[in-house]
Amino acid sequence: MLNQSESGFLGHHDEEPGVVASPSAPVVTFANHTCALRLVRHPFSAIQNIFPKVGQAGVCDTVWFYYALLGRVRTNEYKGHHPLFRDAFVPVPPIAIQRRVASILSAYDDLIENNTRRIAILEEMARRIYEEWFVRFRFPGHEGVRMVESELGLVPEGWPVLAASTAMDINPSTKVPKEGLKPFLAMNCLSDGSMLIDTAGEREGNSGSKFRNGDTLFARITPCLENGKTGFVQFLPSDDAVAFGSTEFIVLRSRTLTPEFVYLLARSDAFRDNAIKSMSGASGRQRVREACFDTFLLPNPDQETLARFAAVTRPMFHLVQSLALKNSNLRATRDLLLPKLISGELDVSALPELETVSA
């Protein structure tokens, strides 16, 4: 199911799809209110005024049509924008030129999509390792470790049970100079399902949450927390650099754990459910009470196991950031080329016609 949201994805259903798109016959969709434009290569049904658009067979290549429209309809107003298409004109070059342009721009998006899949796989691997080692206690060498009784049931011997507020610093004191421009993160910079943080803006001042590389940003307010907004800070140029952001972030910093452990713990259902249950305040603006971290208990692994865990997961986290940076550069290059290719400023007539997925 597609809807008007930024991602466009609502969920799955088992009924007949409304539109039978495919890799060989993609469809361009336009969200009437949010103006989100998408190239969809799978069967889908749509709600909330999602209009399918297709190119005219033999005249307009669908993939080229998508890129020709991309960026042409942008607005912050929430109203119906479908009539704008009646007043929009797109110069249509010969079909061979369209396909050359589509193949060039698609190459960038294919690389971006491949990197995005790798990022999702890396995050999933890290979460599975965390669960295997620290929830199921099947860490390397666990066969030789005796399990002992604790407040949480059986835990590995030598792993003391600590409150989360003991194992990590909650909103630790971090000095951020008031003068000069510094990286600033708003709540919408955090992803619902990934550690990645969107490109930070810059602001003067230092009012709000303060953080540095290795910190986890945990949304304190509804519905951001329920939606999963949690980020891992690793975009700053050095470990000495600092940034600040929304007052609705709770900053979590490892004290007896590792930064990667803290982030993956913050993504766990148990940790999030504990925070959600503590929320108080007016309906629709409830916030997490920091006292909830005093009552959330976890077995604190020994330092040798934590070091092994960091050795496995830290390269994964770094690779996620590296792939995200590559995607940012690919998007910037694609966006620079797009208007020049669509307008014909860059002549592609001499290029061979590359194979591209189009209709």
Q: What is the pLDDT of residue 349?
A: 81
What are phi and psi for residue 215, nearest 5 degrees? -85, 155
Q: Kindly give, in sequence order, each residue whose CB lies less than 8 Å from that of residue 19, ignoring residues fewer than 6 positions away.
A: 27, 40, 43, 44, 45, 46, 52
Between CA 96 and CA 352 the distance in angstroms is 10
- Over the stretch 116-169, which tens digit does the pLDDT of each residue have? 999 999 999 999 999 999 999 999 999 999 999 999 999 999 999 999 999 999
Is the pLDDT at 50 greater than 50, yes or no? no
Q: Angle at the Cα of 157 (from 155 to 160), degrees rounded to 5?
A: 70
What percent of the chain is predicted at pLDDT more than 90?
A: 61
Q: Higher-confidence residue: 183 or 200?
A: 183
Q: Higher-confidence residue: 350 or 116?
A: 116
Return the closest-CA partner of residue 165 out of 278, 251, 240: 251
Between CA 323 and CA 328 the distance in angstroms is 9
Question: For residue 281, is it left (φ>0), alpha (ψ between -120 and 50) or beta?
Answer: left
Q: What is the pLDDT of residue 86?
A: 60
Is the pLDDT at 76 greater than 60, yes or no? no
- Over the stretch 250-303, which tens digit does the pLDDT of each residue have? 999 999 999 999 999 999 999 999 999 999 987 778 999 999 999 999 999 999
For residue 16, name the pLDDT band (cuts at 50, 70, 90).
low
40 in Cβ contact with 25 (< 8 Å): no
Q: How far apart are the first and last CA of the chain?
A: 22
Q: What is the pLDDT of residue 224?
A: 92
Between CA 124 and CA 121 the distance in angstroms is 5
Is-above-0.85 flag for pTM? no
Buried b (16+ CB within 10 A) or exposed e, 88-101: eeeebbebebbbbb
Q: What is the pLDDT of residue 249?
A: 96
Is the pLDDT at 113 greater than 60, yes or no? yes
256 in Cβ contact with 300 (< 8 Å): yes
Least confident of 147-156, 231-240, 301-310, 348-357: 348-357
What value does the mean pLDDT of the chain take? 85
Q: What is the pLDDT of residue 134?
A: 97
Is the pLDDT at 234 greater than 70, yes or no? yes
The DSSP 8-state label assigned to residue 95 in this structure reads H
Helix (H) / strand (E) containing 240: none
- Over the stretch 212-224, which tens digit does the pLDDT of each residue have? 999 999 999 999 9
H helices within the chain, ranges in order?
A: 62-69, 95-134, 164-167, 224-227, 259-266, 269-277, 292-295, 303-343
28: amino acid identity, one letter: V
Joined together, the tokens standing for residue 284 give: 């629709």
- Over the stretch 187-198, which tens digit does the pLDDT of each residue have? 999 999 899 998
Report how far Cα 119 is from the mean position of its chain's Cα atoms.
9
Q: In which residue are the tokens 């005249």 written? A: 59
What are phi and psi for residue 194, nearest 5 degrees? -140, 160
For residue 1, name the pLDDT band (cuts at 50, 70, 90).
very low
Q: What is the pLDDT of residue 7?
A: 47
Between CA 197 and CA 325 the distance in angstroms is 11
Q: What is the pLDDT of residue 306?
A: 98
